């Protein structure tokens, strides 16, 4: 048998693809390469109903692309052997026919390797030259298999456009991002088309405060952040994106090296506790608190302890404050008014508020979490907030019921 020294002669090393992230350099002695060629040749021989099996002569060139599945794209040369196609023999059990009467051929194939170590033929085209005759072409396409797609394929454009828009809307970054480079892509036809795309996006000079969407004015920043993403999309038969998932991680840029630089436009910044800009977010915070707290009286903000703001496709405020019980009951008043005064013996709450505001959409999302403050009943006795008020003042409801969350 001339299986290793003759049948599997390789003319040169297999080339690697340009994308470093998805390919590896391999040589002809790689066992997986041999199994990929074996799967392709067996598929070709199985299609023939009569005649003799073809035997591998040599692999001439190829590439390997690594993604969810691994794909081997290669060319290989074959010669007609002496084993009939109807026999139970494999091509590896056969010898070549005499050179004068043997047909020869060259095949181009793409073979995938799944995570379960199974090899499957995606596409294959073979040009066969009979011993004395013209070239014959045989082609095979696996419609339900995963096919690698060139990164510059036009069919990826709608999915990539959706992907970039999804990132810009879903992530709270100060600037808009644009497509930088497609690393790898693959497609599978399953009652529609399933795509998996690996690509990178780069920060532009357009802020979300000035631009809702990318425009021709948005240019990539040379020192901007770069994120790498892996997306899965399903496009139905009506060419609509029916399902989509995105996984992105920052790869390079100033935020990776310096998480909070001094000039970071989208990072939290401290606000003076008496700043007028806090009036509106504090109003939303106390309204949220009073709507959720289980208490007969309204509470009002007594002291602001700390405040920060952050630009995130709108404004986000983080505020620590003290709220105290007022003399206005919910039974007699529709809402907390300016005449409501703090009760000297009333309860107090220590609160943290997160208020997200998008004025152009009239959208406000406040979240408030509070804990009951320490209660002083006399100059000598102190009771911690988690203790029932009924233990110290009969008739009062438990302080734990004050907590909204």
Query: Structure tokens of 253?
Result: 């840029």
State the fold for domain 269-402.
Nuclear Transport Factor 2; Chain: A, (3.10.450)
Strands (E), 253-372: 269-270, 297-311, 315-329, 348-358, 363-372
Query: For the chain, what are the domain ranges?
Result: 9-143, 150-257, 269-402
CA angle 202, 208, 211 (to 5 degrees): 100
Question: Tens place of pLDDT for every residue, the chain, 405 residues?
Answer: 444 433 444 544 343 333 444 556 666 678 888 999 999 999 999 988 888 999 999 998 888 887 778 888 999 999 999 999 888 899 999 999 888 788 999 999 999 998 888 999 999 999 999 887 677 787 877 878 888 888 899 999 999 999 999 998 888 788 899 999 999 999 988 889 999 999 999 999 998 878 888 888 899 998 888 999 999 999 998 889 999 999 998 877 665 544 444 445 566 788 888 888 899 999 999 999 999 988 899 999 999 999 988 877 778 899 999 999 999 988 888 888 888 999 888 889 999 999 998 887 788 999 999 988 865 444 433 434 434 333 433 333 434 445 544
Half-sphere exposure of 60 (CA within 13 A, CB side): 10
Question: Regarding the domain delimited by 9-143, which CATH topology (the fold level of the hierarchy) does it fall under?
Answer: Nuclear Transport Factor 2; Chain: A, (3.10.450)
Q: Are 383 and 375 in contact (CB under 8 A)?
A: yes
Q: Is-same-fold flag (9-143; 150-257)? A: yes
- Closest to 227 (Cα-Cα) out of 264, 200, 245: 200
Alpha carbon distance 42, 121 (integer Å): 10
E strands of 346-396, at which residues? 348-358, 363-372, 375-376, 382-383
Question: H or E stretch including 4?
Answer: none
Can you read off the two tokens belonging to residue 280? Answer: 């509106």
Fold of the domain spanning 150-257: Nuclear Transport Factor 2; Chain: A, (3.10.450)
Q: How many CB atoms lie within 10 A of CB 63?
A: 19
Contacts of 168 (CB under 8 A, 6+ apart): 176, 177, 208, 213, 214
Segment 13-60, tens digit of pLDDT: 343 333 444 556 666 678 888 999 999 999 999 988 888 999 999 998
Condensed to tens digits (0 to 9), the pLDDT of residues 113-123 reads 988 889 999 99
Q: How many CB atoms lie within 10 A of CB 132?
A: 8
pTM for this prediction? 0.46
């Amino acid at each position: 048998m001339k299986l290793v020294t003759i049948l599997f002669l390789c003319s040169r090393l297999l080339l690697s693809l340009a994308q470093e992230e998805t390919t590896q350099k391999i040589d002809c002695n790689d066992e997986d390469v041999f199994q990929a060629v074996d799967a392709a040749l067996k598929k070709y021989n199985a299609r023939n109903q009569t005649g003799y099996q073809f035997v591998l002569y040599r692999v001439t060139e190829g590439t390997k692309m690594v993604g969810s599945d691994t794909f081997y794209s290669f060319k290989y040369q074959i010669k007609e052997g002496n084993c009939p196609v109807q026999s139970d023999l494999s091509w590896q059990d056969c010898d070549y026919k005499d050179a004068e009467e043997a047909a020869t051929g060259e095949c181009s194939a793409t073979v995938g390797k799944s995570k379960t170590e199974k090899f499957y033929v995606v596409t294959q085209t073979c040009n066969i030259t009979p011993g004395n005759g013209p070239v014959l072409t045989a082609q095979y396409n696996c419609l339900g298999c995963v096919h690698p797609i060139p990164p510059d394929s036009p069919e990826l454009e709608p999915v990539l456009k959706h992907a970039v828009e999804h990132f810009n809307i879903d992530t709270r970054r100060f600037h808009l991002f644009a497509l930088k480079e497609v690393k790898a892509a693959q497609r599978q036809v399953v009652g529609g088309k399933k795509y998996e795309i690996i690509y990178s996006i780069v920060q532009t000079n357009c802020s979300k405060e000035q631009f809702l969407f990318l425009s021709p004015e948005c240019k990539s920043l040379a020192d901007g952040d770069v994120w790498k993403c892996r997306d899965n999309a399903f496009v139905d038969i009506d060419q609509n994106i029916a399902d989509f998932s995105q996984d992105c991680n920052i790869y390079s840029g100033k935020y990776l090296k310096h998480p909070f630089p001094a000039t970071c436009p989208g990072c939290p910044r401290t606000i003076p506790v008496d700043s007028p800009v806090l009036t509106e977010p504090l109003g939303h915070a106390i309204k949220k608190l009073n709507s959720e707290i289980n208490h007969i009286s309204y509470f009002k903000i007594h002291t602001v302890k700390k405040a920060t703001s952050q630009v995130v496709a709108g404004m986000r405020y983080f505020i620590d404050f003290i709220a105290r019980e007022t003399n206005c009951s919910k039974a007699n008043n529709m809402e907390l008014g300016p005449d409501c005064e703090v009760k000297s013996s009333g309860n107090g709450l220590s609160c943290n508020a997160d208020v997200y505001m998008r004025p152009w959409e009239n959208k406000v999302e406040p979240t408030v979490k509070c804990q009951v403050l320490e209660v002083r009943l006399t100059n000598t006795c102190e009771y911690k907030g988690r203790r029932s008020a009924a233990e110290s003042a009969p008739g009062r409801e438990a302080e734990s019921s004050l907590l909204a969350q």
